[in-house]
Amino acid sequence: MDKLSFLEVIAAIAVFISLLLAVFLVTVKTERKLENRLFAAFLIINAIDISGLFMHLFIDSYNLKTFKISAYLLVMPPFYLYVNSVCYSDFTLKKKHLLHLIPFIVANLILVPRLYLAEGPAKEYFFNHMWHSPEMFFYQLIGELQFFFYIIGVFMILKKYKKIYLENYTNPNTLLYKWLFQLTIIFLFIHVCIIFKNIIRYTAYNDLFIWLHILAGTSFLLAACWFILKALNYPELFRRIDSTLQPTKDFAETLETENKTDETKKNQIEQLRNFMVEKEPFLNPSLTIQELAHQVGIPVRELSVLINHHINQHFFDFVNEYRVKKAMMILKDSTKKDITVLEILYEVGFNSKSSFHTSFKKYTNQTPTAFRNS
């Protein structure tokens, strides 16, 4: 089997797996229909894009082949919208999101005169030499600008998501952040391969051009397999945040200018710490800053500034500190030596072994087992 045939096989398998997963996402019963459908759309468009590696075996139409090439400009918009829908529980599709189609429409409009409306030898000549035409140089420029615009936008969303989650929730769902971050890095790597491939296209290194094609195709195939493994292993992967929430720094200065004396802040901190010790709200594994503010009787924004700025801890650090202290008391109690570490972490409010061990080691420099033995 030569390199081109091998590339066609890889592309066909990747397309099959992507479409299979897309069908699953569309048909599976879940409350998260929007994000599943956006990710399915992303997979389908990617499958259409990579199908160009073997499309020539089945389709002779120059118009369809060119339209398939331009479909690349539809890849990143659904991915960007998917990240939004996963991160924000109140995200909905709106008419303004149709603006994401502009690059795709523009790219096809510039091809109308010399390709879509052309006939016979003129159409064939343009198609065979299209990658050296001004239209395709412009198309590639649009594609690169669009890709990095969306990638930067995704990283900004993830940065904001992580910050807000740490400031407002306990036991933060780092699995979601890691999934989206890894997903973005994978597509960035694949796109870097595509950039090098497009550069090599204009040189005499045909073998290198094919190998880069194979590398990009194999990477996408492995990514598609990874998607399926994630879907099987983590069917309930996501917890989302409210998009109306803001990072504390965005409103901290305003609250600081209000009539809040140092003595008032000191009293509020003492009130908060006494409440945490006496009422133990941290035993609720899904405790949020909104719930704690309601229980302690401090407005949520004031409580956020109090914890994140005056106590100088993220909300999840602040709450987990009390959970760790509670766990330490149980681990030191000789009458409770038969209680396992797993039972203790659930008893004190953690909902995962990894988050418990990470927080415990952060405060004690020991694992829970080593602390108990010492």
- Out of 190, 217, 237, a domain closes at 237
**What pLDDT score was predicted for residue 254?**
54
pLDDT along the chain (374 residues), means of 10: 79 89 82 84 90 76 85 92 86 92 92 87 87 89 92 91 74 68 88 86 81 83 80 54 53 52 78 88 83 84 81 83 90 84 87 80 86 83
Q: Is residue 328 part of a domain?
A: yes
Residue 59 domain boundaries: 3-237
- Out of 237, 258, 288, a domain closes at 237
Q: Are residues 144 and 267 part of one domain? A: no
Q: Are residues 86 and 198 part of one domain? A: yes
Q: Is residue 315 part of a domain?
A: yes
This prediction has a pTM of: 0.68
Q: Is residue 242 part of a domain?
A: no
- Out of 237, 257, 276, a domain closes at 237
Q: Is residue 8 part of a domain?
A: yes
CATH number of the domain bearing residue 182: 1.20.1070.10
Q: Is residue 243 part of a domain?
A: no
DSSP state of 125: H
Q: Are residues 368 and 274 part of one domain? A: yes
Catalogue the long-range contacts made by 10-14 (C-beta closer than 8 Å, 24 or more residues apart): 10/214, 10/217, 10/218, 10/221, 11/50, 11/51, 11/53, 11/54, 11/217, 12/54, 13/221, 14/47, 14/50, 14/217, 14/220, 14/221, 14/224
Mean pLDDT, rounded, of the chain? 82
Q: Are residues 339 and 262 part of one domain? A: yes
Q: Are residues 308 and 191 part of one domain? A: no
Give me the number of domains the chain comprises: 2
CATH number of the domain bearing residue 362: 1.10.10.60
Nearest residue to 239 via CA among 185, 288, 186: 288
Q: Are residues 66 and 182 part of one domain? A: yes
